[in-house]
Amino acid sequence: MSASWECDRIGGTSQRVTGNESALPSLLIPRSSLTLLTLPLGQWNTNCHVLIGGGESIVVDPAAEPERILAAVEGTAVKAILLTHGHLDHVQALDAVRQASGAPLGLHPADAAEFGIVGDFDLNDGDVLMLDGGDLTVIHTPGHTPGSVCLRFGQCAIVGDTLFPGGPGHSRTPEALAQILASLRDKVFTWPDDTAFYPGHGEGSTIGAVRPAFEAFMARPRSPELCGDVEWV
């Protein structure tokens, strides 16, 4: 899929920034005036998401390459740094971006405990963060990690490593797989089909595009030992 797929489908939402572009694109998220930049960073190509609304910004998952993140938010007031979860590949630029921006860090308390990360505020299920141009709602979706969260705004969602087009995020145990599938069934797949989701690695898709494969997977019996990198088909 190309960088413009969302634009074709839902009218222009975001920009995937893979090079060293200096000029910021300014595409709009429908039903809000937020701009979403996706920066694949570091050796695991972890997606850092930058939301910009008016003169404010939020950095989600400062994965690596802090200079590129700071260039993306230049000229804005960084209101917060948020983590979808505490895995190492999502936080390698955390200290540098935190120090340079002075912005407070928010993450779910379960991942703060799991990974020994000291935040400035908690991200709990149902919390709403306000940004110029639109609100973000926190959805707790445990499974990949105990404190994994998704962030919804407009008809988009940043989902971390909870959902990929081809399957759920990595699960360390069968219990964790059951938990992530419950999070997907009870929360993520209750969102409208036209919700565009942006995962922690690679390209996103829409809830509607993945729903048939998800529902077929859920309807099939599976081994009680199944876990790891599970695919829908």
Q: Which residues bind Zn ion (CB under 5 A)?
A: 87, 89, 161, 200
d(CA 165, CA 210): 6
Residue 37 or 41: the one with the smaller Cβ distance to Zn ion is: 41
Shortest distance in whole angstroms from residue 86 CB to Zn ion: 8
| Sign of the dihedral defined by the CA atoms of residues 27, 101, 61, 65, in that order | positive
Instruction: Rank residues 10 and 48 by Cβ distance to Zn ion and give the closer one.
Output: 48
Query: Smallest distance, Å, CB 8 to Zn ion?
Result: 27
Exposed e or buried b per residue across 51-60, where buried means at least 16 C-beta atoms within 10 angstroms of its C-beta = bbbeebbbbb
The burial class, CB within 10 Å (0-12 / 13-18 / 19+), for 80 is buried
CA gap 30, 10 in Å, rounded: 8
Nearer to Zn ion, 68 or 87 (CB): 87
The least CB distance from residue 170 to Zn ion, in Å, is 7
The alpha carbon torsion through 166, 12, 138, 53 (nearest 10 deg) reads 150
Q: Are 123 and 106 in contact (CB under 8 A)?
A: yes
Name the minimum Å distance from CB 109 to Zn ion: 17
Give the shortest CB-152-to-Zn ion separation in angstroms. Answer: 19
Q: Which is nearer to Zn ion, 87 or 140 (CB)?
A: 87
Q: Which is nearer to Zn ion, 52 or 83 (CB)?
A: 83
DSSP 228: B
